[in-house]
Amino acid sequence: MLIRKTADIRPSEITSETNYLNRRDFIRAGAIAGGSLIAASAGAAVIPDTRQAKLSGISKSPFSTDEAPNSFEDISTYNNFYEFGTGKADPFRNAQDFKPRPWTIEVSGFAEKTGTFDFDDFMKPFDLEERIYRMRCVEAWSMVIPWVGISLAEVVKYFRPTSKAKYVAFETLNDKEQMPGIRRRSLDWPYREGLTIEEATNPLSILAVGIYGNSIPNQNGAPIRLVTPWKYGFKGIKSIVKINFTSSRPRTSWNMAAANEYGFYANVNPEVSHPRWSQARERRIGAGLFADKQETLMFNGYGEQVAHLYKGLDLRRNF
């Protein structure tokens, strides 16, 4: 994965969230022009608000952490979404004209119910839940994100996979008109990810459609993306257009790009280093420039819910 040594100081390190929120309306009034940031007053960078429409009927989940969530600003301006560029601020800058509606999701493969569904029809059978999860990126940074999503286990059950379905494969939209990063070959497009059927039906797995009670911003994977909090963030494929029930292990983007660095499982594991850096510790985004790194937990702290999925598996070889 590209690691950029940019001198970018994130907005949260300059402006407290309260100040930021107070300035929101002012900022909204005209700070975004042609997708680029402009300064409202000399020297002060302002951040356009990309908060979306409010979602309703959200219930709380016992799976949420009580750790303090990152600010909306952190979550929506420090992103990985290579379809919009490889820099951390590129998705925020370049995804604002992206159209997450109309949107269809094609469900195919070894399942009794398949077809192409309009996003709203796809969502109808499922209940929205808030899931406040830790997210640990393979690049050794982390955040706490209050997702709104639907249970992936419920989604899988709804489409009635047959006994041949051993994996669930996902694909992102591949549209170079809307996604300028696709014009470069930073990855082999479309972005692809996959889970075993046991992982997909684990109660922690969700398809997220919101953050902080509002629809998910484009840069975070609108209108729908995967969240598996015990795995490195790259498993969390964004802007999903295809779900395929397969009998063999699907090819996945980062594994295709560098199999010795990014495994299929990609479970958070502080004991297995990335070939180029240790995974023992992580930098919590928003903690401030001088904060100590914190220890990374096995399965990102979700071992109680997921360790049984990997019983008998050598986690060094199956990383």
- The residues facing 251 across adjacent strands are none
238 binds ligand MTE (CB under 6 A): yes
d(CA 73, CA 47): 8
Residue with Cβ nearer ligand MTE (161 or 253): 253
92 binds ligand MTE (CB under 6 A): no
Question: Which residue in 191, 230, 262, 265 binds ligand MTE (CB under 6 A)?
Answer: 191
Q: Which H or E element spans position 116?
A: strand 115-118
Q: Which of 75, 26, 11 is nearest to 216 (CA)?
A: 75
Question: Which residue in 169, 237, 287, 306 binds ligand MTE (CB under 6 A)?
Answer: 237
User: Cβ of residue 274: shortest distance to ligand MTE, in angstroms?
Assistant: 13
137 binds ligand MTE (CB under 6 A): yes
User: Cβ of residue 311: shortest distance to ligand MTE, in angstroms?
Assistant: 27
Amino acid at 296: T
Helix/strand/coil for 90: helix
Residue with Cβ nearer ligand MTE (111 or 268): 268
Contact characters 241-260, ligand MTE, x per CB under 6 A? --------------------
Amino acid at 129: E
Helix/strand/coil for 155: helix
Helix/strand/coil for 236: coil
Residue with Cβ nearer ligand MTE (129 or 193): 193
Map the footprint of ligand MTE across residues 42-81, applying CB under 6 A: 79-81
Question: Which residue in 11, 109, 236, 263 binds ligand MTE (CB under 6 A)?
Answer: 236
User: Cβ of residue 308: shortest distance to ligand MTE, in angstroms?
Assistant: 25
DSSP state of 200: H
Name the burial class of residue 55, with classes exposed (0-12), middle (13-18) and buried (19+) by CB atoms within 10 angstroms of its CB.
middle
Total chain residues near ligand MTE (CB under 6 A):
15
Candidates 25-33, 150-158, 229-237, 301-309; binding stretch for ligand MTE (CB under 6 A): 229-237
User: Cβ of residue 3: shortest distance to ligand MTE, in angstroms?
Assistant: 11
Residue 194, token pair as written in the block: 């996959």
Question: Which residue in 220, 255, 279, 296 binds ligand MTE (CB under 6 A)?
Answer: 220
User: Cβ of residue 286: shortest distance to ligand MTE, in angstroms?
Assistant: 12
Name the burial class of residue 222, with classes exposed (0-12), middle (13-18) and buried (19+) by CB atoms within 10 angstroms of its CB.
buried
Instruction: Measure the CA angle with vertex 142, ends 131 and 237; round to 5°.
Output: 65
- Do the Cβ atoms of 266 and 192 come closer than 8 Å? no
- Do the Cβ atoms of 285 and 74 come closer than 8 Å? yes
Question: Which residue in 117, 234, 245, 310 binds ligand MTE (CB under 6 A)?
Answer: 234
170 binds ligand MTE (CB under 6 A): no
Helix/strand/coil for 171: strand
15 binds ligand MTE (CB under 6 A): no
Residues at the contact surface with ligand MTE, assessed by CB under 6 A:
79-83, 137, 172, 191, 220, 233-234, 236-239
